[in-house]
């Protein structure tokens, strides 16, 4: 640990990206300060990925149990035990404290500073703590911006003063609202609608467009919409809120212009704002807000001297925790290699995340998407063929996994090279298929080879069979 205010690297933001970058850099022998103004672990650990998955897991397991003869007969008609679900969630999010994470980072030689970080010219970071105390840090080799995003509230009359919920309120809720309006049909909106309806809230999902999961393969949004409706969610497509009001009894009244929707809470899931407007980026000649543009070495574009980097959500390249952590490894390689004067434009220290990312959408059924959709591949100029399959179809043995097994898969193929550009699966537990699809896409494995990747019987992996044999 450095005993002064001089470090090799200063990382601003202690989410999955920032803390992983700090750990990698310290592991390479650099002196590192990590600046975090809330809790080390970031949005992902306390208010996003981890608590939402802790909330959805019991819902999935109960559904699975109800679909398995021999188990469903011993279940009662009750839903999940909400108090027990919250208790497990609280353990997962470390009861909203970061002592253990800070201790582990400190043990690794990293100086953790709780406070708000901002730039003040080249290689200089000012940290202001909760009491207003200031510390001025000098970063010899790198400042890494990993400040992430926060919920974006749309401009709807009365919405802000109605104290809407965001993902943060959902992630830490201690009661389930009787009725909830969820605003937004993207990934966060559908995950929140799945959780709330699964825990017993009557959900109205308000969606501006005509589909869920815009940007995914259309069948994914259609299947998730069908599943949400089956569990009682009222989905209002092509609907915009014109005003929101919290009444004297604490309830929510939202107007769509021609109708009113009443609820106990409204949850907004309409996008994210990047946390850069307080970073004083203008002191180094960058725009004062918005995503920080980086090259594939994750080095900020438009700043001389190769000392400023950005990773994860802050770059806008993809808003996914695993991408932030991937960037963290790359940026540590780049900083360490530059420190030793050995950075080459080689592939190992360049982010190769474009067009080949994997994402799981934790609805019920789950959605897995890797690489490009058919529409995106055509737009990118590929000559595309596709293969699709629905299940169980001829794979009746999938009914071993659960009664009513119902899934769909699609491959997007580069017809010129016979390789996979993308894959989408929708169905129960399909998250387990994600890495096989990712290896196939990233490894550009020819379909003629995938044909000989033999999936064990009986397993979910056999979902690949009708797709790779074309049969
Ligand atoms: C409801 C929800 C569910 C999600 N589920 C998943 C999922 O299942 N899987 C997945 O991969 N992704 C998921 N995501 C996305 C995931 O949360 C983000 O991609 C991830 O948190 C990004 O990590 P990060 O390190 O880039 O930023 P963050 O996790 O946002 O961390 C940034 C940190 O920087 C701090 N900070 C900001 N400004 C300053 C400053 N000036 N000084 C000091 N500190 C500062 C913040 O307090 C924060 O702790 C989900 C998102 C939401 C909203």
- Residue 6 reports pLDDT greater than 90: yes
Mean pLDDT within 247-253: 93
Q: Specify the residue for token string 């990233």.
A: 442
Give the list of residues 6+ apart from residue 14 with CB closer than 8 angstroms, or none. 22, 34, 35, 36, 39, 40, 41, 42, 98, 101, 112, 146
Residue 186 beta carbon below 6 angstroms from any ligand 1 atom:
no
- Residue 55 reports pLDDT greater than 50: yes
CA of 36 to the centre of ligand 1 (A): 12
Residue 167 beta carbon below 6 angstroms from any ligand 1 atom:
yes
- Residue 147 reports pLDDT greater than 70: yes
Q: What is the pLDDT of residue 271?
A: 95
Whole-angstrom Cα distance, residue 418 to residue 424? 17
Residue 50 beta carbon below 6 angstroms from any ligand 1 atom:
no
Helix axes 321-339, 16-27, angle to 10 degrees: 30
Strands 124-128 and 116-119: antiparallel
Whole-angstrom Cα distance, residue 420 to residue 412? 6
Residue 12 beta carbon below 6 angstroms from any ligand 1 atom:
yes
Token pair in block for residue 207: 């969606």
Please work out, in degrees rounded to the nearest 5, the angle formed at the alpha carbon of residue 337 by the alpha carbons of 331 and 339. 105
Other residues' Cβ atoms within 10 Å of the Cβ of residue 158: 17
Token pair in block for residue 321: 């925790």
Q: In 3-state terms, what secondary structure has residue 113?
A: strand
CA of 449 to the centre of ligand 1 (A): 38
- Residue 35 reports pLDDT greater than 80: yes
- For the chain, give the percent of residues with pLDDT over 90: 93
**pTM score, whole prediction:** 0.95
Domains, the chain, with CATH or none: 6-41+98-150+273-349 (3.50.50.60), 153-270 (3.50.50.60), 365-469 (3.30.390.30)
Which of 10, 11, 15 most suits a substitution to test ligand 1, by most atoms within 8 Å of the C-beta? 15
Strand partners, 387: 411
Residue 15 beta carbon below 6 angstroms from any ligand 1 atom:
yes
Residue 10 beta carbon below 6 angstroms from any ligand 1 atom:
no
CA distances from residue 201 to 164, 190, 206 in whole angstroms, order as listed: 16, 14, 15
Nearest CA among 49, 50, 51, 39 for reference residue 15: 39
Q: What is the 3-state secondary structure (H, E, C) of 212-247?
A: CCECECHHHHHHHHHHHHHCCCEEECCCCCCEEEEC
- Residue 249 reports pLDDT greater than 80: yes
For 192-235, the pLDDT digits (tens) are: 999 999 999 999 999 999 999 999 999 999 999 999 999 999 99
Atom of ligand 1 nearest to the CA of 192: 1
Residue 367 beta carbon below 6 angstroms from any ligand 1 atom:
no
Mean pLDDT within 238-254: 95
Q: What is the pLDDT of residue 76?
A: 87
Atom of ligand 1 nearest to the CA of 19: 25
Q: In 3-state terms, what secondary structure has residue 470?
A: coil
- What own/partner pairs with CB < 8 Å and gap ≥ 24 does 286-294 have? 291/315, 291/316, 292/145
Per the prediction, the chain carries an average pLDDT of 95
Atom of ligand 1 nearest to the CA of 314: 26
Q: What is the pLDDT of residue 263?
A: 98
Q: List the residue whose alpha carbon is closest to atom 13 of ligand 1.
A: 49
For 315-344, the pLDDT digits (tens) are: 999 999 999 999 999 999 999 999 888 887
For 342-374, the pLDDT digits (tens) are: 887 666 789 999 888 999 999 999 999 999 999
For 426-454, the pLDDT digits (tens) are: 999 999 999 999 999 999 999 999 999 99
Residue 17 beta carbon below 6 angstroms from any ligand 1 atom:
yes
Q: List the residue whose alpha carbon is closest to atom 4 of ligand 1.
A: 49
Strand partners, 12: 35, 145
Which of 148, 172, 312 most suits a substitution to test ligand 1, by most atoms within 8 Å of the C-beta? 148
Q: What is the 3-state secondary structure (H, E, C) of 56-67?
A: HHHHHHHHHHHC
Whole-angstrom Cα distance, residue 39 to residue 54? 19
Strand partners, 410: 388, 424
Residue 432: is it exposed, middle or buried by C-beta count within 10 angstroms (0-12/13-18/19+)? middle
Residue 188 beta carbon below 6 angstroms from any ligand 1 atom:
yes
Token pair in block for residue 1: 């640990």
Cβ density class 323-362: b for 16+ within 10 Å, e for less: bbbbbbbbbbbbbbbbbeeebeeeeebbbebeebbbbbbb
Mean pLDDT within 166-185: 98
Give the list of residues 6+ apart from residue 175 with CB closer than 8 angstroms, or none. none
Whole-angstrom Cα distance, residue 471 to residue 465? 8
E-assigned strands of 279-401?
Answer: 308-310, 358-361, 366-371, 384-391
Residue 281: is it exposed, middle or buried by C-beta count within 10 angstroms (0-12/13-18/19+)? buried
For 125-140, the pLDDT digits (tens) are: 999 999 999 999 999 9
Q: What is the pLDDT of residue 471?
A: 46
Q: Residue 2: pLDDT band by 50, 70, 90 thresholds?
A: low
Residue 43 beta carbon below 6 angstroms from any ligand 1 atom:
yes
- Least trusted range by pLDDT, from 238-242, 355-359, 405-409: 355-359
* DSSP class of 75: -
For 293-312, the pLDDT digits (tens) are: 999 999 999 999 999 999 99
Whole-angstrom Cα distance, residue 23 to residue 123? 20
Mean pLDDT within 176-193: 98
177 in Cβ contact with 153 (< 8 Å) = no
E-assigned strands of 347-427?
Answer: 358-361, 366-371, 384-391, 407-414, 419-427
């Amino acid at each position: 640990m450095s005993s002064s205010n001089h470090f090799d690297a200063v990382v601003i933001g202690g989410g999955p990206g920032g803390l992983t970058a700090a750990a990698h850099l310290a592991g390479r022998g650099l002196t590192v300060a990590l600046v975090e103004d809330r809790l080390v672990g970031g949005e992902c650990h306390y208010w996003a990925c981890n608590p939402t998955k802790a909330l959805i897991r019991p819902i999935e397991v109960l559904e699975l149990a109800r679909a398995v003869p021999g188990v469903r007969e011993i279940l009662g008609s009750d839903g999940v035990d909400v108090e027990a679900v919250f208790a497990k969630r609280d353990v997962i999010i470390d009861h909203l404290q970061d002592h253990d994470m800070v201790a582990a980072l400190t043990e690794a030689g990293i100086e953790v500073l709780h406070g708000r970080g901002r730039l003040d010219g080249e290689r200089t970071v000012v940290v202001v703590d909760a009491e207003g105390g200031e510390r001025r840090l000098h970063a010899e080799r790198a400042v890494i911006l990993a400040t992430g995003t926060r919920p974006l509230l749309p401009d709807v009359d009365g919405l802000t003063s109605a104290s809407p919920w965001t993902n943060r309120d959902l992630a830490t809720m201690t009661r389930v609202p009787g009725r909830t309006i969820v605003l937004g049909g993207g990934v966060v909106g559908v995950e929140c609608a799945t959780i709330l309806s699964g825990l017993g809230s009557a959900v109205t999902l308000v969606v501006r467009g005509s589909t869920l999961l815009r940007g995914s393969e259309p069948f994914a949004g259609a299947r998730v919409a069908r599943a949400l409706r089956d569990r009682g969610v009222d989905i209002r497509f092509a609907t915009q809120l014109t005003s929101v009001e919290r009444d004297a009894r604490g309830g929510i009244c939202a107007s769509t212009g021609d109708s009113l929707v009443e609820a106990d809470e409204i949850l907004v899931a309409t996008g994210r704002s990047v946390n850069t407007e307080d970073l004083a980026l203008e002191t180094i000649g960058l725009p004062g807000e918005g995503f920080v543009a980086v090259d594939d070495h994750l080095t900020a574009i438009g700043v001389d001297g190769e000392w400023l980097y950005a990773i994860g959500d802050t770059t806008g390249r993809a808003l996914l925790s695993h991408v932030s952590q991937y960037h963290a490894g790359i940026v540590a390689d780049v900083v360490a290699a530059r420190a030793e004067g050995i950075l080459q434009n080689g592939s190992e220290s360049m982010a190769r995340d474009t067009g080949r990312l994997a994402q799981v959408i934790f609805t019920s059924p789950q959605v897995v998407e890797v690489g490009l959709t058919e529409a995106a591949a055509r737009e990118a100029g590929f000559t595309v063929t596709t293969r699709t399959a629905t299940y169980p179809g001829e794979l009746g043995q999938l009914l071993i996994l659960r009664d009513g097994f119902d899934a769909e898969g699609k491959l997007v193929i580069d017809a010129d090279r016979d390789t996979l550009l993308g894959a989408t699966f929708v169905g129960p537990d399909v998250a387990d298929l994600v890495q096989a699809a990712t290896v196939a896409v990233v490894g550009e494995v020819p379909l003629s080879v995938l044909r000989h990747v033999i999936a064990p019987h009986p397993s979910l992996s056999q979902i690949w069979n009708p797709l790779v044999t074309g049969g």
